[in-house]
Every structure is written in structure tokens, then in C-alpha cells.
Amino acid sequence: MQASNLIQSTASGLRTSIQNDVTSINSAIKSIVDKVNDLNPSGDITAPLFDVPDLSSLANLTLPSDLTDALTSLNSSLPSVSQLKSEVDDLVDTPFELVKKEINDTFLSFSFNSSVLPVPDRATLSFCDDMDTSTIDDLGNALVKMTKIGIIILAVLALLLLAASCFWEWWQWRTLRKHLQYTREAWSTDPAVVHVGPEAQPTVSLS
């Protein structure tokens, strides 16, 4: 049994400890006496030593058989941890299971007639029927009109810019044409220029 083994190991350790302590004391006394004998020239002093006790009774110390049998019987009568847990779970679950069974039995015998609660007719709801929204409508119409006017103005401006660009190109072309005409007339009337061949194809000759 574990208790008996524990007592035996403890008693054996105590026996060994006492014997070791007595041996240590004898060694210390003998060491002191030896040093005194080294200093004393007259003779040797015999060191008084303690007898090391046997203490065999401690090595054979055991519990009484009646006590061992009683502890063994008590240990076998105690429930294990798993058994104790199972019993506690059963004890806790029992009232909840009874309540659950009672509720289920009650609802099994319960019936409800749905015809006593007719579904009401669906009603049409309306909101803000009498609200005057003419101001918002006028503002919206004004914004739409301003948007249309803005688009028309942008289109007219685009056409005017296109016409101005065309006029500018025509004016540059007309000016260039006049310059070419003036250059041709000056070329044909210049006395320093000798014309060879047709008058429309002048050549330059330096004199």
C-alpha cells in the first residue's frame, strides 16, 4: 500500500540520517583530538566516540494490518472521479429534463384555430397629397429653360467662331494673292530685269 511504503521510506531515511549525523560527530571529535595530540608531547588522548545506533526498528516500521485493511476498504468504497462526474451531471440534468418534458407535453395538446384571426384588407396609404409643390415645379422648369438657352448660346458661339476662322483664312488667302499680284507687276515693269521668252515667265539678268 502507498501509505505503508511512504512510512517505511520515511523511517528508513530518518534512520540513515541519524546514523550519518552520529558518524559526522565522531569524525569531528576525532579530528579535534588528533590536533590536540599533535600539540601535546606528553602523550596521546583517546577521543571519546559515540556508538552508532542500529535503529533497525525504524527500517522495519510498518502500519498495523487492521489500519491498512481499513484504509483499503475505505479507498474501494469511494467513487472514482468519472463516477462522481456522471452522478453530478445526472443530478443537474434531472430537473431540466423534467421541465422540458412538461413543456413538450403541454404544447402537444395545444391547438390554435387560425380562422378566428382574419387577415385585414390591405389599405392604400398616401402622403403629402395637400402639399403645394408649385414653387419647386417652377424652379425646375426655370432650370430646364436656362439649360436649353445655354445650349443654344453655346451652339451659336461655336458657329460664330467657325465663321470667324473661315473669314480669317479667306482674308489671309486674299492678302497673299494681292502680294503675289503686286510682285508680278513689279517684276514685269522693273527695267533691270531682262525678259526672255513669254512675258509671263521673266528671268533675271544682272547688268
Q: Express the helix, strand and coil content of the chain in percent, nearest 5 each.
A: 70, 0, 30
Q: Which pLDDT belongs to residue 62?
A: 66
Does residue 38 have a pLDDT over 80? no
Encode pLDDT of 144-182 as tens digits.
999 999 999 999 999 999 999 999 999 999 999 999 988
pLDDT at 11 over 50: yes
Q: What percent of the chain has pLDDT over 90?
A: 18
What is the C-alpha to C-alpha distance for residues 39 and 43, in angstroms, rounded to an integer? 10
pTM equals 0.30
Q: Are 205 and 194 in contact (CB under 8 A)?
A: yes
